[in-house]
Amino acid sequence: MNRSIIRGLGFYVPENIVTNDDLSKIIETNDEWITERTGIKERRWVGDADDSTTSMGVKAALNAISDAEIDKNDIDFIVFATLSPDYYFPGPGVSVQKELELDTIGALDVRNQCSGFVYAISVADQYIKTGMYKNILVIGSEYQSGGLDKTTRGRGVSVIFGDGAGAAIVSASNNENETGGILSTHLHSQGMHAEELALLRPSTSHWVPQILKENDPNDISYYPYMNGNFVFKHAVTRFPQVIGEALQQNGYESTDISLLIPHQANLRIAQFIQRTMKLTDDQVFNNIQKYGNTTAASIPIAMAEAKQHGRINKGDLICLAAFGSGFTWASALIKWT
Ligand code: COA
């Protein structure tokens, strides 16, 4: 069986910085509340820039291609994770194929929200291990700000989410003497909680013509809904479970982790995981303070930034873990090559 490695990483975030103080000018909130509850100080929102989920994904992808030192035409498959596709259909994978002018390679879209990137990495890993593909472009990209309720009514959700994209090139290792790469991935879901963190409409039970016909100014079902306390409680249980599962399968202890890169959902959640798993500050990477929660983009942005900051090096044991809407949760353990 082939070994899959992460050969390159890249990210892109819009230039427009929105601080907590900026938000307090448009909704009833303040820096103290947001910082204390979430750790977020600022986030990037597309704003007036000419960006989309696809264009940000493409910019992150070009950075990952350059980091991997491959030709873009060496990519033989695309996996794109997002909850904010540019179109209801088709998904953005095919738009990336077009924008990068790649030959008619396959493009797959993953709909697993905050766990989307880890699910996407798992898909890529299987294709590489079976020998079906050699270089897979995996993207997590989100343009969420346009769809948030930016009034006081929506403040429990809108202050948390940001825009941006991250990408990885997952490749077959061509070094037979080397061990490592993606060791295992672990995927879970619990659909009974699907509506606790969801964007319910438009849907098959409520198509756009019906929404337009009703024209109800109090209808908030086309804004994301989050039962924050409920999500928090499940997240702090599932994260340690799925990290533990990855460690156990590979015969490691939490002390062996060089760097845990958790989905940047909320700094309090990351700190809770750190305490539960008795990890040191050096073992956990957080950048939610600067970017907010960028859903499927958060892990690849964090991974790319961690690598840029010298926090990921050859031989390191890197753990990715995510939890979010679905509910879905997932982890990946990687011995960096
Ligand atoms: N600014 C100021 N006040 C706010 C606010 C904001 N942005 N958002 C909510 N509030 C208010 C509420 O109206 C409420 O006021 P009340 O007590 O007068 O009714 C109060 O703050 C407490 O609200 P609550 O929702 O109970 O706060 P919380 O401590 O649970 O924190 C979250 C809210 C969303 C930060 C928290 O539940 C959380 O982080 N959950 C997990 C979310 C997450 O990680 N999601 C991503 C998963 S991928």
The per-residue pLDDT for range 10-57, each reduced to its tens digit, is 999 999 999 999 999 999 999 999 999 999 999 999 999 999 999 999
Are 323 and 263 a contacting pair, CB within 8 Å?
yes
Q: How far is the CA of 235 from the centre of ligand 1 (A)?
A: 15
Answer whether 0.85 is exceeded by the pTM: yes
d(CA 333, CA 238): 16
Nearest 5°: the CA angle 76, 298, 7 is 35
d(CA 111, CA 152): 29
**Helices of type H across the chain:** 20-24, 31-38, 53-68, 93-99, 116-130, 155-158, 208-214, 228-249, 267-276, 288-291, 298-308
Instruction: Choose the residue to mutate in 43, 149, 232 for probing ligand 1, maximizing ligand atoms within 8 Å of C-beta.
Output: 232
What confidence tens digit (pLDDT) does each residue in 143-202 have?
A: 999 999 999 999 999 999 999 999 999 999 988 777 899 999 999 999 999 999 999 999
CB 301 within 8 A of CB 11: yes
Q: What is the pLDDT of residue 177?
A: 75
Q: Is 299 in the pocket of ligand 1 (CB under 6 A)?
A: no
Return d(Cα 21, Cα 29) in angstroms, integer.
8
| Ligand 1 centroid, distance to 23 Cα (angstroms) | 15
Atom in ligand 1 nearest the alpha carbon of residue 266: 44
pLDDT of residue 276: 96
- The residues spanned by each domain of the chain are 4-172, 181-335
Which atom of ligand 1 is closest in space to residue 38's alpha carbon? 35
* CATH (residue range 4-172): 3.40.47.10
pLDDT score recorded for residue 1: 84
Catalogue the active-site residues: 114, 263, 293
DSSP SS3 for 160: coil
Q: Is 154 in the pocket of ligand 1 (CB under 6 A)?
A: no
Q: Provide the mean pLDDT of the chain.
A: 97
pLDDT top residue among 1 and 197: 197
Q: Does the pLDDT value for residue 96 go beyond 80?
A: yes
Report the C-alpha gap between 254 and 232 in whole angstroms.
22
**Confidence check: pLDDT of 237 > 90:** yes
- Please give the pLDDT value at position 152: 96
Categorize the per-residue pLDDT at 229 as very low, low, confident or very high, splitting at 50, 70 and 90: very high
Minimum CA distance residue for ligand 1 atom 31: 37
Q: What percent of the chain has pLDDT over 70?
A: 100
Describe the crossing of helices 31-38 and 267-276 by its angle, rounded to 10 degrees.
30
pLDDT at 244 over 80: yes
Picking from 110, 86, 89, 269, the residue whose alpha carbon sits closest to that of residue 187 is: 110
Q: What is the pLDDT of residue 333?
A: 98
* Three-state secondary-structure class, residue 98: helix
Q: How far is the CA of 317 from the centre of ligand 1 (A)?
A: 34
77 has pLDDT over 90: yes
Higher pLDDT pick, 213 / 176: 213
Q: Give dist(CA 281, CA 257) in Å, integer.
A: 12
The mean pLDDT of 274-285, rounded to a whole number, is 98
Q: Which pLDDT does position 112 carry in this prediction?
A: 97
Q: Which class for 77: exposed (0-12), middle (13-18), buried (19 or more C-beta within 10 A)?
A: buried
The mean pLDDT value for 80-108 works out to 97
Mean pLDDT of 131-136: 97
Of the pLDDT bands very low, low, confident and very high (cuts 50, 70, 90), residue 87 is very high
Return the CATH fold of 181-335: Peroxisomal Thiolase; Chain A, domain 1 (3.40.47)
- Report the alpha-carbon distance of residue 323 to residue 187 in Å, rounded: 10
